[in-house]
């Protein structure tokens, strides 16, 4: 258990700056997830924390101690890699015992610790196997087992589930949650999958191009995205963005903040409603049974020359099954509380009612 | 076996390409293997049979018979008398073109025979004595020990030194890494004979002349080995080393416990190469080792070739013996050689 503090961490490779001054505080026992599109620097940030890369500038503090000059081995972190990085020539037991052997612990103690970690992860049957004889999920568990035997202060996960198939990913996700609840350890988790981020995290850190866009609990990010990027990144299917002008034309009754430029609306908050203000041309309908997803464009009654008159793609999720057919035009309405307003720089404008 | 040897290109009948490939393979087999076969056959011939002209492929020797009244066995000839009757007779002595011969059955009545009227009676006889006498006659055991010692120690050191260099060159980023690598590769272009004199001077000045270490040490760092291992180690994922670093492993332990075991296929290839190089090495031992108690098998072979007289039968037998270990190594490990080269080269 440890808390982690990053202050103005910068990482440069030659001329390219990957991280532009990251400030972050991770509390004891917190499960924090770094999420962002590929190339946003989230993995680099994790490697800087682990000590595998050193920061170009800035400080990293674990439990209040500056560890900039401490090597990866001595920071007390354990890392689970995307490719698992199991030693292929060693058995599962040796893989898990390797770190303890390096610390010079005695044999009996190593055996006890490995046995208890193996029991937690249901690996007892597999201890004498080689990694190549294991399935993906089993390898993943061995990789986690290798991390937990050493009882590290800080767990680092680098996209650990991305090599698993969808079904296994869901079950591993709940296993990870359970593990976190049991160990009460501080965990930092990197992923590009926002569903993973939403389901696992105590707090999510959204990164873009080496900068933190927003930090907050999953629901805070969903309900109050700080900017258009976070709004678009969190939530599935993506949030719809409508030019504010279009909304002013179609729904003049709706009051908008003064500098509103773009309006965000999540597909699941839209209602199909014959008296709604928006006219919507449906192009595709995906029936999932429990929900239905419609894809199409908003029709505007603005003159063709008006700005923002490009066809606006729009998605709608309805609960249950819908009778709407592709090609049909329907009318949509939306609760005013579900609207997110952004200015021309993409920053969130305060809601009207607050 | 026959089915294997008459395999064709998937058609029922032999295609012309099949004929061509079998022809090519036979020619190749013959040119490669005929000298070896000849060598093995010749090593089983007696000294006199070796000097026979025209030479025979199989080791024939003249038959001898024990005749009463003579101490030594006498060589047997098939003679023809005036009536054209053929009789086997043993030669007692020969003066000019006339030989004194006796019938083995009636040794008391020798007759004179013209040497044109007789033919030696040959029999197939393998002169294994060439091999057995070798061990008693020369200090064969010592030479073998010297050769084995040099080969084994030099190979182990080669693997150690080269894998360490390859590890550094493939897994660490440092200033001048490329330059160092290119320099190492560049030394491949220098023929060993060119640096022979400098090498000799260095060995001399460090006092390793007439020491087995004088042969071992100059040879242990090879650019080929470094290159081979580096290319292989590049394929070991960096994440494994990072995982080991997170596991508190020192750099030495990473090398020893992770990188070395994972490079086993490439190490096997290099080991085979190194064994072949060191075992067959002649030039370096020749200049470094001048006292006969340090001779390797190759040097001993060379010393058999005397200035005035060469005992070919022993020389050939010893040549065969020196070939055996390397042949065994190759026969059993050739699978690793090919796969190792393929994986080290392509990836």
Give the pLDDT of residue B344.
47
Whether A153 shows a pLDDT value over 50: the answer reads yes
Whether A354 shows a pLDDT value over 70: the answer reads no
Whether A302 shows a pLDDT value over 60: the answer reads no
For residues B57 and B39, the answer to whether their CB atoms sit within 8 Å is: no
Give the pLDDT of residue B345.
43
Q: Of A50, A77, A102, which is closest to B253 when you measure between CB atoms?
A: A102
Give the pLDDT of residue B347.
34
Q: Chain B contacts of A97, Cβ < 8 Å?
A: none
Tokens of B220: 């242990």
SS (H, E, C) chain A: CCCEEEEEEEEEECCEEEEEEEEEEECCCCEEEEECCCCCCHHHHHHHHHCCCCCCEEEEEECCEECCCCCHHHCCEEEECCCCCCCCCCCHHHHHHHHHHHCCCCHHHHHHHHHHHHHHCCCHHHCCCCHHHCCHHHHHHHHHHHHHCCCCCEEEEECCCCCCCHHHHHHHHHHHHHHHHHHCCEEEEEECCHHHHHHHCCEEEEEECCEEEEEECHHHHHHCCCEHHHHHHCCCCCCEEEEHHHHHHHCCCCCCCCCCCEEEECHHHCEECCCCCEEEEEEEEEECCCEEEEEEEEECCCCCCCCCCCCEEEEEEEECCCCCCCCCEEEEECCHHHCEEECCCCEEECCCCC
Whether A309 shows a pLDDT value over 60: the answer reads no
Q: Per residue in A262-272, pLDDT tens?
A: 889 999 998 88
Q: By CA distance, what is A51's nearest residue in B?
A: B246
Q: Per residue in B97-106, pLDDT tens?
A: 888 888 877 7
* Per-residue confidence band for B207, with pLDDT thresholds at 50, 70 and 90: very high
Work out the mean pLDDT of chain A and round it to a whole number.
87
Q: Which residue has the tokens 């996960």?
A: A157
Contact B242 A79 (CB under 8 A): yes
Burial class from Cβ neighbours inside 10 Å (0-12, 13-18, 19+) for residue A147 reads: buried
Whether A94 shows a pLDDT value over 90: the answer reads yes
Whether B23 shows a pLDDT value over 60: the answer reads yes
For residues B80 and B72, the answer to whether their CB atoms sit within 8 Å is: no
Tokens of A294: 């419609």
Whether A303 shows a pLDDT value over 60: the answer reads no
Contact B242 A103 (CB under 8 A): no
* Per-residue confidence band for B202, with pLDDT thresholds at 50, 70 and 90: very high
Whether B47 shows a pLDDT value over 90: the answer reads no
Contact B247 A98 (CB under 8 A): yes
3.10.28.10, 3.40.605.10, 3.20.20.70, 2.40.50.140: which CATH number matches A240-349?
2.40.50.140
More confidently predicted of A287 and B7: A287
Q: At what angle do helices B129-137 and B312-346 cross, to 10 degrees?
A: 90
Q: By CA distance, what is A80's nearest residue in B?
A: B243
Distances (CA, A) of B277 to A66, A87, B151, B216, B262: 54, 33, 8, 11, 24
Give ranges for CATH 3.40.50.300 in chain A: 4-233
DSSP at B165: H
Q: Of A71, A83, A103, which is closest to B237 when you measure between CB atoms?
A: A83
Q: Chain B contacts of A99, Cβ < 8 Å?
A: 246-249
Contact A102 B242 (CB under 8 A): no
Q: Chain B contacts of A86, Cβ < 8 Å?
A: 243
Tokens of B311: 């005992």
Q: Tell me how many residue pairs between chain A and chain B have CB atoms under 8 A apart.
A: 57
Give the pLDDT of residue B340.
60
* Per-residue confidence band for A351, with pLDDT thresholds at 50, 70 and 90: low
ipTM rounded to 2 decimals: 0.80
Q: What are phi and psi of A271, to 5 degrees?
A: -120, 140
Least confident range of A309-313, B70-74, B186-190: A309-313
Rounded to whole angstroms, the Cα distance separating A232 from A229 reads 5
Q: Of B248, B257, B264, which is closest to A73 when you measure between CB atoms?
A: B248
Burial class from Cβ neighbours inside 10 Å (0-12, 13-18, 19+) for residue B145 reads: middle
**Per the CATH hierarchy, to which homologous superfamily does domain A4-233 belong?**
P-loop containing nucleotide triphosphate hydrolases (3.40.50.300)
Looking at residues A197-211, what average pLDDT do you find? 91
* Per-residue confidence band for A217, with pLDDT thresholds at 50, 70 and 90: very high
Mutate to test the interface with A, among B171, B243, B256, B262 (most CBs of A within 10 A): B243
Q: Which of A241-250, A317-326, B65-74 has the highest mean pLDDT?
A: A317-326
* Per-residue confidence band for B217, with pLDDT thresholds at 50, 70 and 90: very high
Q: Per residue in B239-275, pLDDT tens?
A: 899 999 888 888 999 999 999 999 988 888 888 889 8
* Domains, chain B: 2-43 (no CATH), 64-120 (2.30.30), 138-346 (1.10.3720.10)
Residues in Cβ contact with A220 at an 8 Å cutoff, skipping those fewer than 6 apart: none
Q: Chain A contacts of B239, Cβ < 8 Å?
A: 81-83, 85
For residues A146, A150, A154 and A158, what is the CA-based torsion angle, rounded to 10 degrees?
Answer: -10
Residues in Cβ contact with A239 at an 8 Å cutoff, skipping those fewer than 6 apart: A225, A231, A232, A264, A265, A266, A267, A340
Looking at residues B180-193, what average pLDDT do you find? 90
Looking at residues A172-198, what average pLDDT do you find? 90
Does the pTM surpass 0.80? The reply is no
Looking at residues A197-205, what average pLDDT do you find? 92
Give the pLDDT of residue A35.
92
Looking at residues A81-86, what average pLDDT do you find? 89
Give the pLDDT of residue B132.
82
Least confident range of A22-26, A127-131, B296-300, B306-310: B306-310
Contact B237 A72 (CB under 8 A): no
Q: How far is B247 from chain A (nearest CA, A)?
A: 4
Q: Chain A contacts of B261, Cβ < 8 Å?
A: 89
Q: Chain A contacts of B253, Cβ < 8 Å?
A: 102
Give the pLDDT of residue B103.
80
* Per-residue confidence band for B339, with pLDDT thresholds at 50, 70 and 90: low
Beta bridge partners of A5: A25, A61
Least confident range of A99-108, A247-256, B163-172, B243-252: A247-256
Least confident range of A339-348, B37-46, B98-107: B98-107
Give ranges for CATH 2.40.50.140 in chain A: 240-349
């Amino acid at each position: 258990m440890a808390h982690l503090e990053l202050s103005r961490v910068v990482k440069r490779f030659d001329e390219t700056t990957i991280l532009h001054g990251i400030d972050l505080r991770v509390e004891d026992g917190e499960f924090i997830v770094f999420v962002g599109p590929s190339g946003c620097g989230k993995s680099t940030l994790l490697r800087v924390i682990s000590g595998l890369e050193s920061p170009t500038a800035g400080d990293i503090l674990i439990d209040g101690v500056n560890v900039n000059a401490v090597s990866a081995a001595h920071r007390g972190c354990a890392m689970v890699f995307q490719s698992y990085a199991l030693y292929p020539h060693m058995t599962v037991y040796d893989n898990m015992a390797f770190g303890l052997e390096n610390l010079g612990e005695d044999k009996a103690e190593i055996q006890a610790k490995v046995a208890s970690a193996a029991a937690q992860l249901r690996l007892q049957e597999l201890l004498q196997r080689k990694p190549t004889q294991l399935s993906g999920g089993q390898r993943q568990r061995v990789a986690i087992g290798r991390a937990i035997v050493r009882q590290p202060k800080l767990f680092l996960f680098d996209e650990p589930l991305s090599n698993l198939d969808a079904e296994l990913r869901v079950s591993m996700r709940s296993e990870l949650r359970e593990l976190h609840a049991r160990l009460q350890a501080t965990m930092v988790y990197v992923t590009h999958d926002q569903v993973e981020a939403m389901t696992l995290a105590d707090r999510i850190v959204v990164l873009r191009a080496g900068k933190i866009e927003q930090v907050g609990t999953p629901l805070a990010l969903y309900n109050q995205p700080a900017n258009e990027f976070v709004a678009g990144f969190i939530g599935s299917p993506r949030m719809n963005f409508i030019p504010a002008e279009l909304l002013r034309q179609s729904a003049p009754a709706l009051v908008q903040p003064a500098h509103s430029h773009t309006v965000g609306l999540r597909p699941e908050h839209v209602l199909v409603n014959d008296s709604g203000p928006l006219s919507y041309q449906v192009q595709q309908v995906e029936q999932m049974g429990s929900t239905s997803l419609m894809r199409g464009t908003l029709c505007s009654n603005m003159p063709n020359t008006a700005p923002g008159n490009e066809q606006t793609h729009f998605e709608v999720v309805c609960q249950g099954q819908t009778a709407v057919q592709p090609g049909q035009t329907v009318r949509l309405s939306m609760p005013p509380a579900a609207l997110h307003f952004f200015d021309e720089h993409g920053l969130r404008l305060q809601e009207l009612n607050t | 076996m026959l089915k294997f040897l008459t395999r064709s290109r998937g058609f029922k009948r032999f295609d012309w390409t099949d004929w061509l490939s079998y022809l090519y393979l036979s020619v190749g087999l013959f040119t490669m293997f005929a000298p070896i076969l000849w060598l093995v056959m010749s090593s089983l011939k007696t000294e006199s049979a070796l000097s026979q002209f025209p030479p025979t492929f199989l080791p024939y020797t003249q038959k001898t018979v024990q005749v009463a009244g003579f101490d030594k066995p006498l060589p047997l000839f098939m003679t023809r008398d005036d009536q054209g009757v053929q009789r086997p007779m043993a030669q007692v002595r020969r003066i000019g073109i006339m030989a004194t011969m006796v019938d083995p059955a009636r040794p008391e009545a020798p007759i004179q025979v013209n040497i044109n009227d007789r033919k030696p009676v040959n029999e197939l006889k393998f002169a294994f004595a060439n091999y057995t006498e070798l061990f008693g006659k020369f200090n064969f055991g010592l030479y073998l020990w010297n050769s084995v010692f040099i080969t084994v120690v030099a190979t182990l050191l080669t693997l150690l030194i080269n894998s360490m260099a390859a590890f550094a060159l493939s897994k660490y980023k440092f200033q001048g890494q490329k330059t160092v690598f290119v320099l190492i590769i560049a030394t491949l272009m220098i023929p060993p004979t060119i640096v022979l004199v400098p090498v000799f001077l260095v060995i001399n000045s460090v006092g390793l002349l007439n020491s087995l270490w004088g042969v071992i040490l100059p040879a242990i760092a090879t650019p080929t080995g470094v290159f081979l291992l580096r290319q292989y180690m590049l394929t070991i994922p960096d994440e494994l080393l990072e995982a080991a670093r997170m596991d508190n492993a020192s750099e030495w332990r990473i090398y020893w416990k992770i990188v070395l075991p994972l490079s086993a296929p490439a190490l096997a290839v290099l080991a085979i190469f190194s064994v072949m190089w060191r075992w067959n090495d002649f030039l370096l031992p020749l200049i470094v080792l001048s006292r006969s108690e340090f001779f390797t098998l190759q040097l001993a072979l060379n010393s058999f070739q005397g200035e005035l007289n060469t005992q070919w039968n022993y020389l050939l037998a010893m040549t065969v013996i020196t070939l055996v270990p390397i042949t065994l190594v190759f026969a059993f490990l050739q699978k690793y050689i090919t796969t190792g080269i393929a994986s080290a080269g392509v990836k």
